[in-house]
Structure 1
Amino acid sequence: MSGGERALGRTTLARDGFSELGDADRLLTELSDAVGMPREEILVGAASAADPDAALSALARIARRDPAAVGSALRRVGPTLWLLLGASSGFAEFYQRHPEELAELPEPGGALPSGDDLVAELRAAVDADASGFAAHGDESAWVALRVRYRRLLARITAFDLSADDPVAVLPAVAAALADAAGAALEASLCVARTRVAGAAGTGLFPREQVEATRLAIIGMGKAGARELNYVSDVDVIFVGGGTDALLDEIGESRVIDIATRLAVQTMRGISGMEIEPPLWEVDANLRPEGKQGALVRSLDSHLAYYDRWAKSWEFQALLKARPLAGDRMLGAAYVEALQPSVWTSAARENFVDSVQRMRERVTEFIPAEEVPYQLKLGPGGIRDIEFTVQLLQLVHGLADDRIRQRGTLDALEALVAEGYIGRMDAAAFARDYRMLRVLEHRMQLRELRRTHLMPQTPEGLRVLARASRLASDGPGVWALWEGIKREVREIHVRLFYRPLLSAVAALPAEEQQLSTAQAHDRLAAIGFRDPAGALRHIGALTGGISRKASIQRHLMPIMIRWFADGVDPDYGLLAYRRISERLGETPWFLRMLRDSSGAAERLTHVLSGSRYIGELMEWIPESVAWLDSDDQLRPRSGVALQDEARAIQTRHETIGDAMRAVQNLRRRELLRLAFGAILGTLTIEELAEGLTTVSEVTIQATLRAVRREVVPPEDAALDFSVIAMGRFGGGELGFGSDADVLYVYDANGLDPERAHELSRQLVAGLRTYSEDQRVPFDLDADLRPEGRNGPLVRSLDSYAEYYRRWSLSWEAQALLRARGVAGSVNLIRRFMAIADEVRYPAQVQVQDLREIKRIKARVENERLPQGVDRARHVKLGPGGLSDVEWLVQLIQHEHAHALPGLRTSSTLDALEAARAAGLVPDAAAARLAASWRLASRLRSANTLLSGQTSDVLPTDRAKLDGIGRLLEYPARSATLVEEEWLRTARRARRDFEKLFYG
């Protein structure tokens, strides 16, 4: 060959994917000379080989042994040969040992062999007769079996490698590999029968006894599911038995001895070290008691073990069991007898936890350096998919036989069809599973050995990319692996660890499927007061054949249990039905409840515990999504709410539309805070701050909108502000609290009458547009000068004049919690300066202090509702909110001028400052703070429970228990709640009387 021809030839080799061009050129010349074919004809199909260099090297080595066989194969099935040898050095070694087998390579476009074809071929290889005995029992039979098996394996591989879409044919290829394994075991058992049988006196068993002995080989794992790898341990369990006549003749023990000999020889025929290398490992360690247990047991012995001793993982292993070889009737009897145990195993105590822990142990035992490359066992690998699917099957399979599938992909289809897993998650799992299995197959083909580690070299990754055709190059196939790994892990963690699985698994079997009468009785037994009504709601939610109804049917058994654990199961279920109907066909709702880490349980908890929440959620059903995220249950900042409120006002042209949107914002944030209160994610201080912030933002947004409507541009100089008073001013609002306010304006040069009229219109607009029939929002101005008899709004000068000349002690006391919240900042600053002179006087008159104490006593006598037990009134009763607040305010009024720490509108902050200053003993301060906090929590809990505001601790035991549950007391704690309040209030009252009146 000339230099130009050689250069052209190397260009062709490079284009076909060869890397070692010099070696390839030399080997190609050698091969061409050996087989008598032109180089270009030999290279037909070389470009499709995963590793053309390895394939050419293999062809040259085989040709040195048998050039005629290689030449014939190249002429007949050249492209197939390049595919096979380019993907597998293991097949190269096989054909080097047996070049005559090249003649058996199938033509392109051939089909996969059927299961029957595989059995017939392998039985023929050992010359088996109709009674199941091979013609020979020596090692030559095993060699013939292994050679024929690899011939058939090459046929399967050729089909796989030449398929247009290797991902699409993966299930068919895996099934053919499992069938081939079963056929190999069948043929090896024929050889085993011949080896074990012998004439009387030889030390072996008589042929007629061997023939009458029954041995079923049960396929487990991937072999049982017909989703086997190219090179994988084949997990089996052996079941022995015999004909009735044989059992009568020699007894069961002797029969099991024969069956054990057959099992040992069958395993040896597949994986013993003979002249021809083993096919794969036959692993019988999943049998009862593992390696320590008997290799073969009778069917009764198996059943007794699983009935008494088996662990949870052993039932999970049986999920894929099927008769693989040997006596099919005995195998079928074994599988059928154990199916009920498999599908009731999830009801065992801590079953879900044990499966989850087992998956974690698998990961823990992977060497750290292998974790990034572990395709099967590592995070995001094949096992994550398999364990997730199996756990879902086992938990839900007791009540639903439609998901009882052996294969992973078949099970995924059933789970999505029945609504146990979302379509998107199932599609991602199925796609990723197929691709992972294709990668696994190509890695195992490389050397025909068991491996699950991704290549760690650039060349290995390049060959894997070409063999799998899932990526164009090595970096591409690694990026694909990393992407699959992240996606699989995310779905696995979300589905595998969701609490709903543990909850469903813990349900008694009889509760998962009940007749109507049984369900009625059961609902009554677990706490529903109207079981007939509950059944109607359940029927409405679960009736029909829609996917929504299907998912509801899966959710209902455990959600009913959770509703029953709540305060008011009947209301909770009714509210859930209404929310479900409001959300209609919304795709995310039921999917989130099914797949979330805790949303379903949280939803039942808040709905059965709070009418306040149930009624709000009917208006804001999309709030269900918040229950899936702790972040969504945290109060939003005032800045974020202000930004949203301002954006609302820019989007709406009319004040009515804008204020309806602001009203919705307020309802939404109140609901968010109610969630946090009931679910225990907020402290009483955080709750008060959140409720105060929502009220401030609502007033600020309303004032902006009303001012835009009321005050014309020529009157823009008018200053107007809203001053928060009472618990609102102190930042201490609870659910159901009014917002106490004062209104102040400054004419700033406008005509005084005009300024007053505009301010009056602003107040009227504020009161009108802040009204909310669903969640009342009362702006209460009763703490203004002269109370209800005084004008609603005053100018700043009028306030200054009034407080200078006419202010009463109670008005100075009220100003202690004054705080500007809306309107002109400059006006607020000037008003607060006036308020400071009144509330923090340099000299306190003794008669003023006496007047405050006199008014407190009068309030206790006159303002308590008639017929109410004083001790149960958490606001005005002994030791209640009023006692603590009046005491603190008295101390502030008397000492705040000298002690700046007392100048705060917060009751608890002022109490702490008084304690630090020595004005209140430490122990008394702690008792007073505890009473104030408990009273605040009881007041809010009462509102959340009933949806109505009340300051009275109910006498109804069910309501008291409900309040206790909201405060995280255990169930049936009505007496405990009552006693704790009365005790706490009594201690606080003693401290109050000593400090206030003493």
Structure 2
Amino acid sequence: MSLPSLAALPASFESFVSRALQSFRAAVDDLSPQATQRLAAWPVARLAAFERVTAASEFVIEQALRDPEMLLALADSGELERSLQAGELRTQLNAALAECADEDELGRRLRRLRNRQQLRIIWRDITRQADLLETCRDLSDLADACIDLAYEWLYPRHCAQFGTPIGRRSGQVQQMVVLGMGKLGAVELNLSSDIDLIFAYPEGGETEGVKRSLDNQEFFIRLGQRLIKALDAITVDGFVFRVDMRLRPYGSAGALVLSFNALEQYYQDQGRDWERYAMIKARVVGGDQVAGAQLLEMLRPFVYRRYLDFSAIEALRAMKLLIQQEVRRKGMAENIKLGSGGIREVEFIAQAFQLIHGGRDLSLQQRPLLSVLRTLEGQGYLPPAVIEELRAGYEFLRYTEHALQAIADRQTQMLPDNREDRARVAFIMGFDSWEAFHERLMYWRGRVDWHFRQVIADPDEEEGAEAAVCVGGEWLPLWEDALDEETACRQLSEAGFAEAQSAWQRLAGLRASNQVRAMQRLGRERLDAFIPRLLAQAVERENPDLVLERVLPLIEAVARRSAYLVLLTENPSALLRLLTLCAASPWIAEQITRFPLLLDELLNEGRLFKPPLAPELAAELRERLTRIPEDDLEQQMEALRHFKLAHRLRVAASEIAGTLPLMKVSDYLTWLAEAILEQVLALAWRQTVAKSGTPRRTDGSLCDPDFIIVGYGKVGGLELGHGSDLDLVFIHDGDPQAETDGAKPIDGAQFFNRLGQRIIHLLTTQTTSGQLYEVDMRLRPSGASGLLVSSLGAFQRYQENEAWTWEHQALVRARVLVGCPRVAAAFEQVRAQVLGRARDLDKLRVEVSEMRAKMRDNLGSKETAAGTAANAFEAAAPFDLKQDAGGIVDIEFMVQYAALAWSREYPALLQYTDNIRILEGLEHAGLIPGADATLLREVYKAYRAAAHRLALQKQAGIVSGEQFHLERREVMRIWRELGLS
């Protein structure tokens, strides 16, 4: 974190500093000769620092003259030149409050420690020995310690007077919870900040142990009043912290303390948008920490909505408008917090993203602003250059705020209007003159304001006040049914709709739908604002009819959740991307309609069209799941599904945009499956072990986890498509007979079977976000009649003694996806031994050919005898890209045949499981002519690319018979030349 530089002491302060030093020396001399010696021992650097600090801060010199021993003691302790250790400040206060006799003494000791620490913090801030983060942390730690230790001192004495509060339902002793809001909650207190607090207690009841019991609420109200007095009252020693309780429910008119249930009910029924904004930073700063954590968890759904909440941006915009009006009314343009380009605008930017996305992106559920900015950059919400400007501008503004407040320990964010204080601020900030400082300040305020407008300002403001009427305004009468059918159709036709009548009927159908008719007023207003925008952008597309046909079902689906409409209204670029993708792919349109949460992905173009690589995918998913409590299975399953849906959309969008070639599409979809399987296995293992204990190996040691998931078919061959299922086989290497070490032990075979069942449950269960994957387990030993999970030994015996040739063909494309590295290595050895054994090639050709013939008979095009009849190449005939002769499966069977036939002599053929690289291996070994290997690779990719395109159009993988003539004939030729029939 950058620190403002140190400036030379202005000449105008030299005499003032000299007098201050003389006065301090005189005050020290009055203490004792020993005190004079202690001051004389100060190093030159500390005396220079004293001059700087007294030039900048009237507060410091006042405290030093009032209590010179305090400054001497600080200097002797070394605290002026070093950072405090974690917990050190609380330890000091604890010692200061030891044997405190009464509340008056409590107040004195709190204030004396506060003044001591305030002097130290200002000293280190002005001398640049502490950065912004340390200054804010020390101030916040000071507040935490004062609040909590004052509460701990008051609580037992309050109980002695009024009895101990007991919960009516639980029968447990009740403690108060003190929530710190705003800058205190975010550990961002400034040098002279109020502390915003909310008091609560877990449950109602009465006090016990006294003759006249008190209701719990009355008990805690009185306790809260005593705590406020201990902190807030101004005495001869000053104050500890000014306490502001106006953020509590109902503000100043509300009860000082409420129960958890009352708080939850209030926020659920009456909580306003600004209260959500405030609650983002709420933190337990005193009282019962455990109960406080429970309270914050209860209130989390109020703050962070599980859906994308773009209505939050409207609320923030309205709040900012009110602030701007107040600034103008009170003449606060020079206020660096509330004025244009001030601290509040940076906070609004960060909290806009938190409120909108925080319900789904748990990484945004944090308090410190600079940490939120880092997350916004890391998660791709804002570009690094924007974050850097916001960070630098915010830090400059906060340092300026501290400079203003260091002068007299006064709560202010107003720039001074007198020459002396202006010189002080410029000096503290490292500038030679007020003009130089002010120029830099206005630069940063301008940059902050510009970025604020990009995020918070109304998208129509760029075009001026009239633009709000103009954007799509020509379509408003048509949508509001103010035009007769003929006029409406003419407008649609003239705008470019080829089927104007159909378009008009679709719009009328949406308007009359049950979902729209059931909308409440606010939702209907949002829909009425959105549809004209939609039409205005649709007519800019090449095929507006297609756009409307595919997007209106989505609008109908989300009509009752109008926050999505706000998202698209607020983000014209996101709406444009939605229309582009839906026009290009009905599959994408259907996905977004089924799962509107995917609209979030349209907000960031860079992220949408650049899916992460395999390690980043896995790391991102791990991070998401670590933020969810281990016992919250529902949220874990939803997070897995959200992750899959979002990244699958990114891949499809990138494929449509041409930024991802076919092979990379399959790679990404396969990496996505592997990242999900890794976490599903971890979840299933944790849950199964928690219930039954850990299984054992044959040597008696515990498994960890000695289990692998093997992928076959498309996932094994890194060729997953957009709707592919997963062909999986589960294998373990534990002792099937040994019992687990749990309280309710079961044998190893039963444990691993339950583990497999758990994995399938996590993958296939339908939730509101669909299922993760369809799973096919039929390739396991003995198929559907076999055990769900095989031991490695049983798998090897089956493959060596019982497996059919087609099962060995499948094994060519099998690889370990996730699980224990040791068992994975052992599986690879088994695979190599099974596939690399000597074979009768004539028999192998017959068995491969017979299996292929069966597949063609059952799955190929009936009209053309699976592409072998004379009419197979006619335009009217279908060609099944996968199953017909000369198609994808023919190439796969040739590759599998070659691997089985020659891998004994050429074991390198077993290194890879995907067809492309096996074909490359066959070419390098000279087993297939180079021209034929190249042809098969290119044809295979061409077939798969066509199948992908059809899948995105929600069409079967079938084309007309006149396509791929040359390719099919060449594949069939090579098939025959390999001796297959």
- Measured against the shorter chain, the TM-score band is 0.3 to 0.5
* TM value normalised by structure 1: 0.45
* TM value normalised by structure 2: 0.46
Name which one, 1 or 2, has greater alpha-carbon Rg.
1
